Amino acid sequence: MDYYGSQMSKLIEQLSSLPGIGGKSAQRLAFHIVHMPKERVEQLAGAIVEARNNVRYCSQCCTLTDQEVCPICSNPNRDKKTIMVVENTRDLAAYEKTGKYEGVYHVLHGAISPMLGIGPGDIRLKELMQRLQGDVDEVIIATNSSLEGETTAMYISKLIKPTGIKVSRIASGVPVGGDLEYIDEVTLLRALEGRVEL
Ligand code: ZN
C-alpha cells in the first residue's frame, strides 16, 4: 500500500537506491527534503547535477576532479617524481588529510579481483605505466591490505621492476582488510614512513 502518495514514494525509492541508505534513512531524508525551503532543495539538486556533469578523471593521476589537471598535479610544490598508487579518490583524500605527503598520486579506481572478474585491464594501470615513461624515482603502492589490494600490489610491482624504478609498499600496521579512509592519520603516516622496498 502507498502510504505517502506516489511522488513521496518515488523520492524514498530513489534515495534508498543510494549506497548505505536503507529504507528508514531514505524515509527520514525524504521527509527532511520536503520540509526544506525550496531554494535549499534547488541548491542540493543543482549540486548533484553539476557534480555529475563536470566531475571527470584528472588527465595525469586519474583522480576525480572538475579540472583537466587536478589541483595536486598542477601544484608546482609537489614532488612529481614520487607517485603513490591508491585504489580510489577516498584513499587519496585520507593521505592528503595527513598533510605530510609531498608527492603525487595515481588512482586506480579499483583493485584486481579474480573472484569478481576484475582484471588488470579494468583498473587504471595502463595510465600508470604511461606515466612511468617520464622522470619517476619511486612508486609507493598504497593499495588496501585486503586480498585484492595485495594481489594488485604484487601485480604492479612485477610490472614496474623491469623499468628499474624503485617500488615500495606501505608498511603493515594498516589493519587487514581495512579501508584506508577509515584509518587514523598517525597510522597512515607510520605506514608510509615504514614502507619497504619490493
Ligand atoms: Zn591529478
Distance CA 183, CA 190 (A): 11
The CATH number covering residue 118 comes to: 3.40.1360.10
Q: Grid coordinates representing 182? A: 577509515
Indicate yes or no: pTM above 0.75.
yes
The answer to whether residue 9 sits within a structural domain is no
Domain count for the chain, please give it: 1
Residue 7 within a domain: no
Span 15-36, pLDDT tens digits: 999 989 999 999 999 999 999 9
The answer to whether residue 149 is domain-embedded is yes
Distance from residue 82's CA to the centre of ligand 1 (Å) = 13
Three-class SS state of 11 = helix
Closest C-alpha among 143, 151, 168 to residue 91: 143
Distance 198 CA to ligand 1 centre (A): 25
Q: Which domain holds residue 121?
A: 75-171
CA distances from 194 to 16, 130, 152, 168, 173 (A): 42, 27, 20, 10, 9
Q: Which pLDDT tens digit goes with each residue over 85-110?
A: 999 998 999 889 888 899 999 999 99
Confidence label for 155 from pLDDT (cuts 50, 70 and 90)? very high
Check whether 72 has a pLDDT greater than 80. Answer: yes
Report how far ligand 1's centroid is from the alpha carbon of 61 (Å): 4
Q: Write down the mean pLDDT value for the chain.
A: 90
Residue 29 within any structural domain of the chain: no
